[in-house]
């Protein structure tokens, strides 16, 4: 007797979702202008992680190509995370060129003006030569900054329309301690000639995995009772979405996997189904065929959360046809050489899967730019894409 295919549990309000999207409209210069003004300028945007600022005085420079902005994220001596525009108030020089480090004060290399971690202008060389200078009015230009579960968020709006807690919504308290205790082992950045909506959409559905990843990870999802790899859970929220990817209970470990994970925890493409240490936001359905979750925090952050690793991917539009994609993967801290080997194996496998995901982006953009096809058609397994465009349209239509 043929076994019944797994059916997805679909949660949340799907009112207004459309399975047919006018994609030519979404990738047009006119639509992008509205996105920049009413979506990116008004959203809480994740830009880095507190792991990048381990000590008081730590800083990281983050470039935000959407606004051609350079931001300086600082942890002051009291451990408070602050954000500033990375620009000297004298002549507009970039205060810190790039990277990260450990400083209590920031001195401009052009004329030596010095700013504190609290953003105050504390020293001006030859100050008496400035007739109208008021140091109190020339501190670093702040940007609204807040932190959620180690992720640093900023808001470019002059007066944010919501707090970060309100922006995250119902998931805000669901991840206690999940993101802590890990270490960052991979960081990638690539610029693609593709609209950011299309780039992001390639990472928020699992319909493609059976076909696009058949060479690198042919049987890590699905299985005999889930041949079409239906998601155990698909959930829409006010702004964000999440779904659970299904592990394959019938997965046959290769000799390389057996060797890689012999002395450590199972990592991609194998999955340990122990949920006992996970907070409610990870595998929220407590599915016994769970592999990992994919969370899309609107507008441009995609997170993959599994038992022992976490992947964050940011999609930063440069314009309507170019996107910077940044990816960072964190693992539990290895205790021995065997676990290090397992993590290295998983890193390489995941990198190749990521390369396959990137492979379709420019080809899709090129084909759509011909204009011969106006609409794309989306299935129930692509509800997160439907929801993404609905939230975008709602924000663009707001006053």
Which residues have C-beta within 8 Å of that of residue 108, sequence separation ≥ 6?
Answer: 88, 90, 93, 95, 114, 115
Is a pLDDT exceeding 90 seen at residue 270?
A: no
The tokens for 206 are 């699992």
In this prediction, residue 264 has a pLDDT band, given cuts at 50, 70 and 90, of confident
- pTM score of the predicted model: 0.95
pLDDT of residue 307: 92
The tokens for 227 are 């041949």
pLDDT of residue 1: 43
The tokens for 285 are 């359905």
Which residues have C-beta within 8 Å of that of residue 351, sequence separation ≥ 6?
Answer: 186, 188
In this prediction, residue 170 has a pLDDT band, given cuts at 50, 70 and 90, of very high
Digit-coded pLDDT (tens) for 323-342: 999 999 999 999 999 999 99
Is a pLDDT exceeding 80 seen at residue 305?
A: yes
**H-run or E-run covering 34:** helix 29-35
Mean pLDDT, the chain, integer: 94
In this prediction, residue 89 has a pLDDT band, given cuts at 50, 70 and 90, of very high
* Contact by Cβ (8 Å): 292, 284: no
Domains of the chain with bracketed CATH: 9-38+181-397 (3.90.380.10), 45-159 (2.102.10.10)
> What single-letter DSSP state applies at residue 85?
E
Q: Starting from the edge strand earliest in sequence, which strands make up the sheet with 105-107, in order?
A: 105-107, 114-116, 121-123
pLDDT of residue 3: 56
Helix axis angle, 337-359 to 361-368, nearest 10°:
10
- Mean pLDDT for 342-359 is 92
Digit-coded pLDDT (tens) for 135-162: 999 999 999 999 999 999 999 999 999 9
- Helix, strand and coil in the chain, % to nearest 5: 25, 30, 45
90 vs 118: CA distance, rounded Å: 17
């Amino acid at each position: 007797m043929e076994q019944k295919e797994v059916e997805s549990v679909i949660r949340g309000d799907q009112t207004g979702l459309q399975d047919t999207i006018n994609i030519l409209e979404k990738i047009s210069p006119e639509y992008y202008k509205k996105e920049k003004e009413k979506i990116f300028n008004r959203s809480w945007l994740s830009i880095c992680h507190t792991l990048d600022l381990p000590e008081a005085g730590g800083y990281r420079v983050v470039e935000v190509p959407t606004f051609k902005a350079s931001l300086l994220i600082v942890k002051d001596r009291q451990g408070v995370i602050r954000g500033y525009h990375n620009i000297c108030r004298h002549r507009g020089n970039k205060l810190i060129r790039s990277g990260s480090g450990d400083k209590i004060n920031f001195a401009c290399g052009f004329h030596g003006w010095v700013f504190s971690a609290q953003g105050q202008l504390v020293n001006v060389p030859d100050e008496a030569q400035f007739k109208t200078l008021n140091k109190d009015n020339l501190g670093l230009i702040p940007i609204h900054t807040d932190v959620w579960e180690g992720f640093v968020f900023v808001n470019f709006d002059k007066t944010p329309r919501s707090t970060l807690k309100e922006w995250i919504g119902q998931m805000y308290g669901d991840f206690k301690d999940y993101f802590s205790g890990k270490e960052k082992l991979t960081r990638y950045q690539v610029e693609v000639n593709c609209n950011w909506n299309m780039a992001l959409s390639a990472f928020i559905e699992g319909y493609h995995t059976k076909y696009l990843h058949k060479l690198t990870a042919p049987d890590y999802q699905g299985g005999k009772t889930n041949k079409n790899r239906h998601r155990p859970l698909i959930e829409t929220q006010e702004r964000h979405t999440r779904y659970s990817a299904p592990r394959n209970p019938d997965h046959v470990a290769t000799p390389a996997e057996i060797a890689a994970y012999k002395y450590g925890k199972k990592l991609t493409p194998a999955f340990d189904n122990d949920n006992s240490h996970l907070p409610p936001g990870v595998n929220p359905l407590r599915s016994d065929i769970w592999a990992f979750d994919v969370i899309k925090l609107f507008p441009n952050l995609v997170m993959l959360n599994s038992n022992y690793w976490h992947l964050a991917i940011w999609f930063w539009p440069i314009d309507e046809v170019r996107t910077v994609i940044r990816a960072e993967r964190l693992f539990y801290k290895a205790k021995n050489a065997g676990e290090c080997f397992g993590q290295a194996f998983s890193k390489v496998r995941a990198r190749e899967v990521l390369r396959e995901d990137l492979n379709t982006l420019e080809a899709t953009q090129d084909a759509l730019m011909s204009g011969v096809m106006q609409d794309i058609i989306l299935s129930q397994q692509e509800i997160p894409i439907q929801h993404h465009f609905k939230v975008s349209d709602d924000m663009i239509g707001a006053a």
